[in-house]
Amino acid sequence: MAILPILKYPDPVLKQPSVPVEEINDEVQKLIDDMTETMYQAPGIGLAANQVGALHRVIVFDVSPPEERPKPVVIVNPKIIAAEGEVKYTEACLSVGDFSSEVRRKARVTVSGLDRQGHPLEIEGEGLLAIVLQHEIDHLDGRLFIDRISRLKRGLYMRQIQKQMKK
């Protein structure tokens, strides 16, 4: 397993939609292992493949309580098949750095996909699990949480990173 560099905004790869995995081969298995290790090392609670430069539809996450970790969940080709309710949650992202903001999301989602053995799975979630599922699937569609906040708040973030880049 290897710890991979995590791409940061405004890296253009983060804006690219990822393509579905057609075969869960050794390369994809290795990607899953590396993503899992990279996520824990960051540390983060979720990671999408394009955050480490691989444009495959693969996400990993672990929202279990600290004492139960590690309990990584992998979804290949995740897809939201049902969603309801509304919730606001303060989000951050390993690709966005030192910035967090409230984002409006669906309160409950059902996601279908494949596990790493290629078996179909379905995960129904609310609370943090629902947020993480939507946040990571957004990544696969080339979308960051800062794309879902107000223009005013995004402006604050833009000025913040411009300052950091000048340093």
Binding site for Ni ion (CB under 5 A): 93
Nearer to Ni ion, 49 or 114 (CB): 49
Nearer to Ni ion, 21 or 49 (CB): 49
| Nearest residue to Ni ion, by Cβ distance, number only | 93
CB of 26 to Ni ion, least distance (A): 26
Nearer to Ni ion, 17 or 23 (CB): 17
CB of 23 to Ni ion, least distance (A): 26
Instruction: Based on the residue annotation, tell me whether 37 is a catalytic residue of this protein.
Output: no
Instruction: Supply the DSSP string of the chain, one letter for each residue.
Output: --PPPPP-TT-GGGGSPPBPPS---HHHHHHHHHHHHHHHHTT-SEEEGGGGT--BSEEEE--S-GGG----EEEEEEEEEEEE--EEEEE--TTT-S--EEEEE-SEEEEEEE-TTS-EEEEEEETHHHHHHHHHHHHHTT--GGGGS-HHHHHHHHHHHHHHHH-
By the 10 Å C-beta count (0-12 exposed, 13-18 middle, 19+ buried), 12 is classed as exposed
CB of 48 to Ni ion, least distance (A): 7
Nearer to Ni ion, 91 or 113 (CB): 91
The rounded distance, in Å, linking the Cα atoms of 51 and 139 is 8
* Catalytic position from the list 27, 124, 126, 136: 136
CB of 158 to Ni ion, least distance (A): 17
What are the residue numbers of the active site? 136
